[in-house]
């Protein structure tokens, strides 16, 4: 009975089939991560529906009240946002 030849690590790594699985797994993972990232960054405006935003007007300048009025009169601002805002910069209680 013949004694099998011992396989050294260098000889094992020189074989192409050994590299196929790790390269395939890496390509799949990188492709999946790229797809998830691009899917979240393609249309960020579409994903912002219902995003809570707060406007605090406490500087006493001339632009602040005009900006607040324009934002609150905008159709993009939801009713819930309008009902919790006040001119003092503090949310209404209740």
Cβ neighbours, 10 Å, residue 85: 19
What pLDDT was estimated at residue 80? 60
Prediction pTM value: 0.43
Residue 37 Cα distances to 16, 27, 86, 87, angstroms: 32, 15, 38, 40
pLDDT in tens, 36-66: 998 888 877 777 777 777 777 777 677 777 8
pLDDT band, residue 30 (cuts 50/70/90) = very high
pLDDT in tens, 70-80: 877 887 776 66
Separation of alpha carbons 29 and 35, rounded Å: 10
Separation of alpha carbons 57 and 64, rounded Å: 6
What pLDDT was estimated at residue 85? 47
């Amino acid at each position: 009975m013949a004694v099998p030849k011992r396989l050294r690590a260098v000889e094992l790594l020189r074989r192409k089939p050994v590299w196929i699985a790790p390269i395939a797994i890496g390509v799949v993972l990188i492709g999946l991560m790229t797809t998830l990232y691009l899917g979240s960054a393609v249309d960020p405006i579409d994903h912002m529906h219902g995003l809570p935003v707060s406007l605090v007007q406490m500087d006493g300048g001339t632009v602040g009240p005009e900006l607040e009025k324009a934002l609150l009169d905008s159709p993009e601002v939801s009713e819930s946002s309008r009902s919790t805002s006040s001119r003092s910069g503090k949310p209404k209680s209740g």
